[in-house]
Structure 1
Amino acid sequence: MGWRVEMPPIRKPSLNDGPLKDLNEYLHELHGRVYYPAPARVAAAWKSGEEEGRYRRSKAQATVDAIFRSPGCPADGYALQELVEVLLVDFGDEDSVSEEVENARTRVRYLWRQAMDPQHPASEIVTAIRDRANAYLRLADMLEKAEQMEARGRSPKALLAAYFPADQLAEELLKSKDDMDKPFQSIMERYVETYFESERIKRG
């Protein structure tokens, strides 16, 4: 990435301990990890990436600034995942399909869900299924972007850059497809337990 100039950090909002504070602290931690790029630069990189087909939910400078400063929970969880990728890929040294980026996306997705409904956090099974669904949706987004770029006659180099992360994600999904057996088995086991419990109650 060349020489970096460390900018002053964005001021954090005053938040009580809890899921929302955890989410905000993590976003600030990632921002600091790439030397605090100004919201204007983040928004510009995000918009540029969207034009290249790498992102879909780019936000204006004011919105980027509000994500870090606002005491409220951001409404768009998918945009937060893209913001994480913008920070680590466009301002850091990570590849878009690196384990570091995927871990960061997963963590911010989990924290955002907790912050949206702190009284009713999702179970591990629900989270696992949602994560897998999100991965497939992300793969569909990647392929759609690549196809649109191809239809617009983009260069082979640009198309390779677009198809590469989709290929890597598809490979990871194929490798880990058996992991979904555990949540599905848990669902069936829970159904059987509930069925027998309901029968026991009916019989008094």
Structure 2
Amino acid sequence: MKPIALITGATSGIGAATSRRLASLGYNLIITGRRAERLQQMAEELRNEYAATVLPLCFDVRKREEVEAHLGNLPEDWQQIAVLVNNAGLAAGLDPIQSGDIEDWERMIDTNIKGLLYVTRTISPGMIARKNGHIINIGSIAGKEVYPNGNVYCATKHAVDALSKAMRIDMLPYGIKVTQACPGAVETEFS
């Protein structure tokens, strides 16, 4: 049986590239995203280019109920997730803190932090029960250093850094690996 990887935010950028790479390595893939048409296009590409078995799930990681409904009720054949890639994330706005758009702040906090938490909380109990798994959190160099007008985005990625370190401690007794990748500038549509 091929291992299963779950990639959030798989419709573009790092998530799409990660999906292609894991498909090329022979993984069965669960891919998620908010844009149904793009998600279906990605699923078809992965099937056609890599002969991958793909389960596309369209939902918003910011909404705990949607995460639990989709990932908490996976078909039996899809429940043994070996690799979780918490990739869904975004940067919104480039304003100084005193004039920042609160809706932008909430979108970033809800996606970059809470979405990662909701997905991990839903998937990790299965990994713990099997004493096997690898969680990969996509952070950012912005989680190590800050830049002008990146205040809230940088704060969310600093949170991903702290969560990754703490998750590593929490998951160690169960043999589950936790890795954080912190890209610098990447050519994507996300910001």
Same-fold call, TM > 0.5? Answer: no
Q: Please state which band the TM-score falls in when normalised by the shorter chain.
A: 0.3 to 0.5
Higher strand share: 2
Give TM-score, length-normalised by structure 1: 0.31
* Greater C-alpha radius of gyration: 1
Give TM-score, length-normalised by structure 2: 0.33
